[in-house]
Structure 1
Amino acid sequence: MTKQTAVVVAPGRGTYNKAELGYLTRHHADKAELFAQFDAFRTQTGQEAVTALDGAERFSGAKHTRGDHASPLIYAAALADYQAIDRDKFDVLAVTGNSMGWYIALACGGALSPMGGFEVVNTMGTLMQENLIGGQIIYPFMDDNWVGIPGRRAEVFAKCAEISTRADHVLGLSIDLGGMLVLAGNEAGLVAFEREMPRLEDRFPMRLPNHAGFHTHLQKPVAEQGRARLDAGLFGQPEMPLIDGRGAIWAPGAANKHALWDYTLGHQVYEPYDFTAALRVAAREFMPDVFIVLGPGGTLGGAVAQSLLMANWRGMSNKTGFQAEQAQTPRLLSMGREDQRALVTG
């Protein structure tokens, strides 16, 4: 059997929702030993076990979407999914991720051990929740066929810049996410944008619950606390190429470990995260047969596809073309979707 080449994409916050409850038990009963280590770490910090959160009778938005709960849940699910990829079918060329997914990518790519990655994710998720500075909203700039609406991006950025000139208003780009712009700011900035921008599809601008103003200078205090708690010694050489939130590649054997720590707990925390650029670099530098999106959830697939269309990957330029290609030769496999998961795990 001929192996397919793959770039793996790790998800960020917002991907563990009601449908994902029980994900660890459902898909990873064979990884009890790994999850027990995560639970032991949480017990030491006085926090509820990851398996207890995943095994709850019912999903609670107020509880399961908190940074100190969602982050370790998503990490455990995504790392276990990475370990479940059938290596007889796929040759993984590189790993990238969206936002918090960068921490997961570091663990998948070997720059952090499974427990080192868990410590980073749990610490940063907890600090984000304890501080909860600012918030995030999403606004699209593509149409239903995933083609950019002329002038929309510029309109959004102009509005952000104008709002930020007002006294006590902060608003700016948080994540460049395919056909969506994730914006972050303080309450005054967010409310102004929500009030003054056209409402689209009866749901945008959409406020993200329990999300702080990630990837903006509002998070500098969190970055400082993270650097104080997480030692650079946790970081090692990656075992495979890692593509970060600037589109920069960290190559095995050539990465400066202190610089990796510095980026992860510095720029990555308080500067905008360019997921679109990470996917463009992945597509053009590695030209994989497929992109594998780790679970939990399947919501990141759209942003991955949109980012690849913007890079004109394999000549695809809109949703119709992507779906036609996907029906003939699946190029995007989301492990959070049962039908596509089976193609990845064997």
Structure 2
Amino acid sequence: MGKTALLFAGQGSQFPGMGKDFYEQYPEFKKVFDLLPAEQREIAFSGSRDQLKETVNTQPILLAFGLGIYEVLKSRGFRPDMTAGLSLGEYSALTAAGVFTPEQAVSLIHCRAEAMEEASAGVQTEMSAILGLDRDKLMDCLKRASSAGRVEAANFNCPGQIVISGEQAAVEEAERLAKEAGARKCMRLPVSGPFHTSYMKPAAEVLEQRFQKESFGRMEFPVYFNCTGRPETAADGQDEGTVISDLLVRQVQSSVYMEDTIRNMIEADAGRFVEIGPGKTLSGFVRRTDRSVQTVSITTAADLQAFLGE
């Protein structure tokens, strides 16, 4: 079966009611989820989709959801060989690997979400998943659509699925050009900002200042980073915390290379991918990248019990 890779979901996978079953059954999950304000716990368990869609709610809730489940797994002896996370899921991955404490991660992600929401203010933006078109053709469409405004590639998720982000008019033009070029479908995503684009430069600057005040633990197992698709280590004379903070500052304003991450994990002998997070989005990316590996998704307490063999 090879090694086990752990993946943490990102924004867009949230749904009302997420985490309630874990909260009621697992004290390890409850301890992490209680790091959220009571209002956000209520939004997770019984809020509306619109409330959950707001970046300042989505990111902390998803982080606590992923970390809470990981704490249950960890308490039962589970340890991955490597990990990665999509966008905000990268903070969950780093926390699982020992770089941040759960308390630290929740505080950081509140800061990140607020900075990203502020960077999005006043701009009518959209994110859209372009299905069935290769990178080169889509990049050409984005270049041509730039006459309508700013639009960039935000996520290279898997073969045939690339997410674009930017001004509404430019995204619409890019979708039109992509369909002309042979895209099978263009699907709008339930998120509230032009994430992983140059629009997020102000948020990156806020994070850069914040990381100067943080302490960083040493990684206990490799973390594959969004903006390179590879594990990154400090060179001689470099501080590992500085390397990580530089990558996280870069991550918020640049493309996420999830397909490259998955391919590099498989090359490092990952034969089983365990996805933590609402839905099965990342497991789908893995299967569309390489159908020979095993995938497991943990979204509900029943999923967790089945995985643990309880």
Range into which the TM-score falls when normalised by the shorter chain: 0.7 to 0.9
Match of 1:277 among 260, 266, 290: 260
**Aligned pair in 2 of structure 1 residues 244, 27: CA closer, same or farther (>3 Å)?**
farther
State yes or no: 1:72 paired with 2:72.
no
State yes or no: 1:242 paired with 2:223.
yes
Note the residue ranges of structure 2 that are not aligned, 5 or more in a row: none
**What residue in structure 2 maps to residue 295 of structure 1?**
277
1:206 is displaced (CA, Å) by 1.6
Give the CA RMSD over aligned residues.
Answer: 2.9
**What residue in structure 2 maps to residue 98 of structure 1?**
86
Measured in 2, the distance between the counterparts of 1:280 and 1:223 equals 27
**What residue in structure 2 maps to residue 313 of structure 1?**
none
1:195 is displaced (CA, Å) by 3.9
* Greater mean alpha carbon deviation, residues 221-230 or residues 18-27: 18-27
Equivalent residues of 2:17, 2:45 under 8 A apart: no
Measured in 1, the distance between the counterparts of 2:166 and 2:106 equals 27
- Counterpart amino acid of residue 296 in structure 2: L
Match runs of 1:72-151 below 5 Å? 72-85=60-73, 90-132=78-120, 134-141=125-132
Instruction: Please give the TM-score of this superposition, normalised by the length of structure 2.
Output: 0.85
Measured in 1, the distance between the counterparts of 2:180 and 2:62 equals 31
Measured in 2, the distance between the counterparts of 1:273 and 1:335 equals 22
State percent identity of aligned pairs. Answer: 19
**What residue in structure 2 maps to residue 261 of structure 1?**
245
Measured in 1, the distance between the counterparts of 2:193 and 2:115 equals 11
Match runs of 1:121-270 below 5 Å? 121-132=109-120, 134-141=125-132, 152-164=134-146, 166=147, 169-179=149-159, 180-198=161-179, 204-245=185-226, 246-250=228-232, 256-265=240-249, 267-270=250-253
- Counterpart amino acid of residue 129 in structure 2: I
1:4 is displaced (CA, Å) by 7.5
Note the residue ranges of structure 1 that are not aligned, 5 or more in a row: 43-47, 142-150, 310-315, 317-321, 323-330
Structure 1 residue matching 2:214: 3-state secondary structure = helix
Q: What's the CA shift string for 1:227-246, capped at 9, x where partnerless?
A: 22343523222121111111
State yes or no: 1:344 paired with 2:304.
no
Structure 2 residue matching 1:228: 3-state secondary structure = helix
**Aligned pair in 2 of structure 1 residues 297, 34: CA closer, same or farther (>3 Å)?**
same
**What residue in structure 1 maps to residue 45 of structure 2?**
55
Measured in 1, the distance between the counterparts of 2:218 and 2:11 equals 26
**Aligned pair in 2 of structure 1 residues 268, 53: CA closer, same or farther (>3 Å)?**
same
**Aligned pair in 2 of structure 1 residues 339, 199: CA closer, same or farther (>3 Å)?**
farther
State yes or no: 1:15 paired with 2:13.
yes
Equivalent residues of 2:127, 2:164 under 8 A apart: yes
Structure 2 residue matching 1:206: 3-state secondary structure = strand
1:131 is displaced (CA, Å) by 2.8
Instruction: Please give the TM-score of this superposition, normalised by the length of structure 1.
Output: 0.77
- Counterpart amino acid of residue 130 in structure 2: Y
Q: What's the CA shift string for 1:224-282, capped at 9, x where partnerless?
A: 122223435232221211111112213599862112111112x1111111011111111
Structure 1 residue matching 2:278: 3-state secondary structure = coil
